[in-house]
Amino acid sequence: MSGSTITSPDHLTWTPGRAARELGLKRTEFDLAVNLGRVRTVPDEGGGGRRIPRAEVDRLRSAEGFPEALLDSLRTVGTREAAALVGVTETRFTRFARLGLVTPVRFFVNRYRAVVWLYLAEELRQFAADEKNAPLMKGRMPAGLREQLDAGLDLRPRNWRGRHLGFLLRRAEDPWERAGAVAALLDPVQIADLVKDPYERAHLNRFRPGPPAQSVPGSPAAQLAARIATADGPDEIAWLRAELTRSLEEAREHRPAPRPAQRRQRDLELQPRRAQQPHRELQPHGELQPQPELQPRLERHPDPGRRRGPGRQREAGRQRRQPGRRSHGLLGWLRGRSS
């Protein structure tokens, strides 16, 4: 368990994986619990993501009906099980979902590249128990609703995006993070149109979450998931653009986006300190040479043997110590010619 806990004087925190094991949840169930606000998280002081206080895990474990009650509140079902819970046919339930009467909480793309929507079982039971929905359970649907369905209305992607945005905003603790959450549902072209400054746009993209990772990046399934996570209706796009504009104003007031001018200012502040350090000067011929005051004084040794190898140096020394021997160097050869 090393690395899964962090101890501080006032609290103990766990990684999401460790907390999920302590609660007996699968990772997808734990992530859903965090998104729904059922599990409280805190930021990691080391910048490694969110962590879960030990006290929060203890609170959930001591709750009445644990773990069955927690698991039941996080149970998700597909269309077939959802229809059975509500007490209608699958076709009628699909109409409910397309009309926006029930909202998906998750989705995934199966191996046939079909989108599978998942719903909270707890919410479906509440929907079926609401007396206002009783007329929809049996008989023909109202004419107005039938006309919307015949026109191709399908609010499942849009309603999921609205819910997903709520999840992202719940985790955001910084104005830039909130702006990034709104930008997550907009196409990059829309963001570039709203945020003209490239440095500000780059800073915003740092806080812009990508679509839920479900497939290999770049695969057809991943591309389909990205399309679902991107707003496409004119009114939805207009609302998100207005919300992003407002969020960016708050983010700029909180902390302006960094830009190169700030780095240049830091360099100017460091220049006097750097000027006191020794440096090298570029000579006209293009080679780097030491400064004159730092250039070492090179002396030429009078003994030619200093430029020879170790063996020749020893031989030259023996010749100097033996006056009777004739030098075989250049000077000796010249003397020999003149004798």
Identify the pLDDT of residue 43. Answer: 87
With a pLDDT cut of 70, the percent of the chain lying above it is 73
pLDDT at 293 over 50: no
> Quick one: average pLDDT of 98-110?
96
CA distance 240 to 169: 13
Structure tokens at 45: 């002081």
CA distances from 144 to 89, 137, 162, 321 (A): 20, 16, 24, 122
CA distance 240 to 246: 10
pLDDT at 27 over 90: yes
Our measurement of the distance from residue 5's CA atom to the centroid of its chain's CA atoms, rounded to an integer in Å, reads 22
CA distance 20 to 11: 18
pLDDT at 281 over 80: no
Question: Across the strands, what pairs with 5?
Answer: 14
More confident residue, 328 or 189: 189
Beta carbons of 161 and 231 less than 8 angstroms apart: yes
Beta carbons of 173 and 42 less than 8 angstroms apart: no
Identify the pLDDT of residue 215. Answer: 74
CA distance 249 to 64: 45
More confident residue, 263 or 163: 163
* 282 φ, ψ (degrees, to nearest 5): -85, 115
Question: 20-29, 43-52, 244-253: which range is least confident on average?
Answer: 43-52
- Where is mean pLDDT largest: 11-25, 291-305, 309-323? 11-25
CA distance 129 to 131: 6
Identify the pLDDT of residue 279. Answer: 45
Helix H or strand E segment including 109: strand 106-109
Q: Mind listing the pLDDT tens digit for each residue in 220-249?
A: 999 999 999 999 999 999 999 999 999 999
Confidence of residue 209 (pLDDT cuts 50, 70, 90): very high
pLDDT at 322 over 80: no
CA distance 244 to 234: 15
What is the average pLDDT value for the chain, to the nearest integer? Answer: 83
CA distances from 181 to 14, 50, 165, 272 (A): 25, 16, 7, 43
Question: Across the strands, what pairs with 77?
Answer: 119
Structure tokens at 85: 């819970």
Identify the pLDDT of residue 292. Answer: 47
Beta carbons of 81 and 130 less than 8 angstroms apart: no
Question: 70-79, 88-97, 251-260, 316-325: which range is least confident on average?
Answer: 316-325
**What is the reported pTM?**
0.74
Confidence of residue 257 (pLDDT cuts 50, 70, 90): very high
Question: Across the strands, what pairs with 281?
Answer: 289
